Amino acid sequence: MGKMTDIQIRAWIKSNERFEGRGDGDGLYLSYRENFATPVWRFRYRFAGKSRTMNIGSYAVLSLADARKTAKDLSAKVALGHDVAGEKQERKREAVAKINAEKNALTVAQLADEYFERMILGRWKHPNIVRSRIENDIKPNMGKMKAEDVKPRDVDNMLQTIVKRGAPTMANDVLRWTKRIFDYAIKRHVIQYNPASAFDIADAGGKEETRDRWLTREEIIKLFQAMKDKAGTFTIENHYAVRLLLLLAVRKEELVSAPWSEFDLDGGVWHLPEERTKTSAAIDIPLPPLAVETLRELHRLACGSAYVFPARKMQHRMIPHIDLNTLNAALSKHVKPKLDDIPNFTIHDFRRTARTHLAALGVDPYVAERCLNHKLKGVEGTYNRHDYFDERKAALNEWAKLLKALEAGKPDYNVVPLKKSKAG
């Protein structure tokens, strides 16, 4: 059979003439099987003594002239020792593998979620601290990236973003968790190296110095006044949270994630269990009247929630209480800009503030330390199991009176030092 022509091919298509293969020469064939919508070009050749065939395109997209040129190029490659059909199949396999790899590649957000579920939930006492770092810093900066594509510069950009917003300690913490998440990814064969491994705290927030910041009476008055001035944006729940943190000297995570089941408001006691304390030591916290009053109002505002500070909007992973960063963010955005005349402070400084004012009220150091749920040191801590509940109740009642006066803008509250109790 001689060379084909376009007129001839179009006639076959028009008459719906079907055939397995008709040659044009130089290994080029046209196939028009019953199940083909249009004729298909094929190239046949011999390689290593065996006959090989490969499809090179349909007549609808590859003209006769283009098919002849393609067949000529393929023949030249075969002459040079290429198995063109085999190479095409290999390219196809590589393309499919790449597509599947893209489809199955974990993003940093997915990796962080998996790490949290497998390595943190059920193992860490305060998992929401880790969740807060993931949601508030790691995801916003790298969450959409594929884990395998993260480079050290991406980690550095994230850390510098945190440092620039004035949170060096947070940057150190985020670096620690980022390293652990990517170490986990290596174990899971998701990545081959940890992009955060070369960084240390000098590249993040730097050495963490022991803080000594506490708020004076005048500063506490200004803080409460600023919260009142921003009542339209700084919610009453946030206001109450600040009041309780100062008054009870508890840790932020202990308060914001507290369920109502821990409170006996009629008896004036908060039963804080060991699994929710940093020291793994349960403690009964006496509640002054101001605290009970505040908690009853929060109970009304909670609208039946099981938590003192229920989540205020739909959150990722549906944490039932407010995020640990909610209060920090609200203070930074709405209140601190009105306090530019006083040095910066953090929520954790509220505990030091309470401890300092308790000392000024004449509270015995042993009692004041137990108010913060600190373990007594040395021999005293080993042998003295007295929990100073009554003494702590008296101390917190006096601190509550002072705090209430300061909240009302009265800095000259008359302090009557408490009578010292005998330790031991």
CA pair distance 172, 200, nearest whole angstrom: 8
Residue pair 306/260 in contact by the 8 Å Cβ criterion: yes
pLDDT, one tens digit per residue, over 212-250 is 889 999 999 999 999 999 988 999 999 999 999 999 999
Q: Do domains 108-203 and 217-407 have the same CATH topology?
A: no
Lookup result for tokens 């007129």: 7
- The two tokens of residue 222 are 């200004």
Indicate the SS3 state at residue 385: coil
- What's the rounded mean pLDDT across residues 42-67? 92
Q: Please, which residues bridge with residue 107 across strands?
A: 146
CATH architecture of the domain 6-83 equals 2-Layer Sandwich (3.30)
pLDDT, one tens digit per residue, over 301-352 is 999 999 999 987 655 456 788 888 889 889 989 999 999 899 989 898 999 9
Indicate the SS3 state at residue 58: strand
pLDDT, one tens digit per residue, over 346-393 is 898 999 999 999 999 999 998 999 999 987 665 454 444 468 899 999
Domain boundaries, the chain: 6-83, 108-203, 217-407
pLDDT, one tens digit per residue, over 207-218 is 666 678 899 999
Closest CA to 3 of 19, 18, 25, 20: 25
pLDDT (0 to 100) of residue 101 = 61
| Range 108-203 classified under CATH 1.10.150.130 | yes
Q: Using alpha carbons only, what angle is made at residue 120 by residues 115 and 123, rounded to the nearest 5 degrees?
A: 145
Lookup result for tokens 């509550």: 400
Superfamily designation of domain 217-407: Intergrase catalytic core (1.10.443.10)
Q: What is the mean pLDDT of the chain?
A: 88
Q: Please, which residues bridge with residue 273 across strands?
A: none
Confidence of residue 165 (pLDDT cuts 50, 70, 90): confident
